[in-house]
Amino acid sequence: MSKPAPKLHKEEEPFIPYVELEDFDSILQERSQSYSKRMGFLPNCNKLYAHRPQIAAPLWDLNSAIMRDSSSTLPQSLKRRIATRLGKLNNSTYCVSHHCGILQHEEGEDKMKDEGWEMSDEDVHSLLVDKEGGQDEFEKACFDFADAMTLDPTSISEEIYERVKKLLSPAQIVELAAVVGFWKLYNTIHSGLKVPLEAHLLEFSGWINAE
């Protein structure tokens, strides 16, 4: 299984103008430097969020708290894989491309410096299309809960709830629900704003069409 052909072939122009980094509000300056250091570049979405710094700042802080805080109760790699799968369920080309770039990134490359999971095309394809996700019963329970909550949070089966309650701590369950809810929010905002995918991630844009 090879990586799907790119869906996008050039970086598009935003439908509203970016805020230039030098014009970022002071409350975003330090956060933006941390973002750029962690990822190796400043994402296009951040340059749009910067129009509303009072919204951007807590969103970026929430992203960090949910996905990579030192207090995390779930493995970072698991949360990244779940976020990738949910991006496809939510039909977010921008987020799926970002996540797949991180999952397939080799540790130590210039771009996306903070994470590198070196996943193969076959593993990413399986993550995106297989109905059963996860490498063990714990992860399968997490993926099943995440899938169900994304599709309809009011219709999660009692069987899934029982498995999650048996295998995860209360703190892990809350964190998992926060991962799902956060990426529903981010996927929706990024798609609604038509955030252009960065040129160096265009090669990953075909993953949204994986079947």
Boundaries of domain holding 101: 74-209
Question: What is the number of domains present in the chain?
Answer: 1
Least confident among 31-40, 100-109, 143-152, 171-180: 100-109
Residue 17 lies in a domain: no
CATH number of the domain that residue 178 is part of: 1.20.1290.10
Cα–Cα–Cα angle for 120, 122, 125, nearest 5°? Answer: 110
pLDDT digits 0-9 by tens, 179-199:
999 999 999 999 999 999 999
Residue 43 lies in a domain: no
pLDDT digits 0-9 by tens, 92-134:
999 999 999 999 987 655 555 566 678 999 999 999 999 888 8
Mean pLDDT confidence for 31-52: 93
- Confidence band (pLDDT; 50, 70, 90) for 40? confident
Q: What is the C-alpha to C-alpha distance for residues 183 and 84, in angstroms, rounded to an integer?
A: 9
Residue 7 lies in a domain: no
At residue 156, φ and ψ (nearest 5 deg) are -70, 130
Residue 13 lies in a domain: no
HEC profile for 16-45?
Answer: CCCCCHHHCCHHHHHHHHHHHHHHCCCCHH
pLDDT digits 0-9 by tens, 159-184:
999 999 999 999 999 999 999 999 99
Residue 158 lies in a domain: yes
pLDDT for 28 beyond 70? yes
Instruction: Look up residue 101 and give its amino acid.
Output: G
With the C-alpha atoms ordered 137, 142, 143, 145, is the resulting torsion angle positive or negative?
Answer: positive
Q: What is the C-alpha to C-alpha distance for residues 95 and 91, in angstroms, rounded to an integer?
A: 9
Query: Which pair of structure tokens corresponds to residue 171?
Result: 């703190």
pLDDT digits 0-9 by tens, 4-26:
999 999 999 999 999 999 999 99
**pLDDT, position 113:** 55
**pLDDT, position 38:** 85
Residue 41 lies in a domain: no
Residue 1 lies in a domain: no
Residue 48 lies in a domain: no
In this structure, are residues 110 and 39 in contact, taking their beta carbons and an 8 Å threshold? no
